[in-house]
Amino acid sequence: MGRLSRNGIRTCNLCEIEAYKEFVKEGYEVVKNGYPDFILVNWETKEVRFVEIKPEGKRLTPRQKKVKKIFELIGLNYEVKYIKNKGVVPRKDVSKLLKEK
């Protein structure tokens, strides 16, 4: 539901679908997925980093590679941080884990 094309966007938001069609008609490629997991901001140093987190041994998806290329094209710092995969937890346990030191 909401899928426009194999390479398009997935959305049920009618405003986004309308905008998508307009942008494509204007000759743009619309990229909606593949963005980094974290935006890191240090307000004191005014440093901004965009970080994709990947389990060790995994690679960026084609969409993530495209977004990385776009970020680099406009001079943004895009990083990939590899972490030893520790699995997943139920959503209800996430807040407890975030509070642990």
pLDDT at 1 over 60: no
- Three-class DSSP labels, 14-83: HHHHHHHHHHHHCCCCCCCCCCCCEEEEECCCCEEEEEEEEECCCCCCHHHHHHHHHHHHCCCCEEEEEE
Mean pLDDT of the chain: 86
Q: What is the pLDDT of residue 89?
A: 78
Spans of all domains in the chain: 1-32, 33-85
Is pTM, for the whole model, over 0.85?
no
Q: What is the pLDDT of residue 8?
A: 63
Q: What is the pLDDT of residue 71?
A: 95
Q: What is the rounded CA–CA span in Å between residue 64 and residue 50?
A: 12
What digits encode the pLDDT tens for the residues 39-64?
999 999 999 999 999 999 899 999 99
